[in-house]
Amino acid sequence: MSISLGIQFPTEAEEMRNHALIDSNVSPTQRFYAMLDVLAVAETFSRAGEIRQEQLKYHARLEEEWQLRIKEFLKRHVK
């Protein structure tokens, strides 16, 4: 049983035709700048990933330090 959404999605061939039409209307300079934009976005994502990894490492160090301090506190004050 198939569901009809009432929305026509393009076939793969139509999608390729549309991309070819778009590409044929773009100058080499525009393609070059688009490529530079993609590279800039990729570099931004790459740096963001590195920053996120550092944040996770920092959080893990803080968690370990907190647990160590709690254990020391409990040793001293709970009998």
Contact 50, 42 (CB under 8 A): no
Tokens of 43: 């570099």
**What is the predicted pLDDT for the residue at 59?**
95
Query: Cα-flanking dihedrals φ and ψ of residue 26, to 5°?
Result: -105, 130
pLDDT for residue 10 is more than 90: no
Model pTM above 0.85: no
Q: Identify whether the C-beta of residue 10 lies closer than 8 Å to the C-beta of residue 18.
A: yes
Q: For residue 2, what pLDDT is reported?
A: 66
pLDDT per residue over 16-73, tens digit each? 888 888 878 888 898 899 899 999 999 998 888 888 888 999 999 999 999 999 999 9
- Measure the CA–CA gap between 25 and 30, rounded to whole angstroms: 10
